[in-house]
Amino acid sequence: QVQLVESGGGLVQAGGSLRLSCAASGRTFGNYAMGWFRQAPGKEREFVAAISSGGGSIFYADSVKGRFTISRDNAKNTVYLQMNSLKPEDTALYYCAARRLVVDTTVVGYDYWGQGTQVTVSS
């Protein structure tokens, strides 16, 4: 069982930056692939970024490639999402998620979810 708590969301102007963090409970964080997803009002939850358990494989949605960076610190049981050059269309509730072992880019592929942190980008 893994419990996830996101933080770092907020209100930022277009072009600004935010760094999201996701702290995980448990002693086996290093066995889990981690993902970031987002959901805007009236839209389906969508993939943003994912990182393998050891950090060697990373994937991004085309819409954030070159602007967002996912990373993890297994010693701190934490995964991060650095978001630069933010756009109004990045406004959403951002969730982190965990699944055992193999990294995945689909919503249904993840077993554990946090409550989300709101990111709002003003134009």
CB 18 within 8 A of CB 10: yes
Task: Give pLDDT tens digits for 107-118.
Answer: 999 999 999 999
pLDDT of 27 above 90: no
Cβ neighbours of residue 75 closer than 8 Å, sequence gap 6 or more: none
Q: What is the pLDDT of residue 47?
A: 98
pLDDT of 30 above 80: yes
- The model's confidence at residue 77, banded by pLDDT at 50, 70 and 90, is very high
Long-range contacts (CB closer than 8 Å, 24 or more residues apart) made by 7-11: 7/117, 8/117, 9/94, 9/117, 9/118, 9/119, 9/120, 10/118, 10/119, 10/120, 11/120, 11/121, 11/122
Task: Give pLDDT tens digits for 34-76.
Answer: 999 999 999 999 999 999 999 999 999 999 999 999 999 999 9
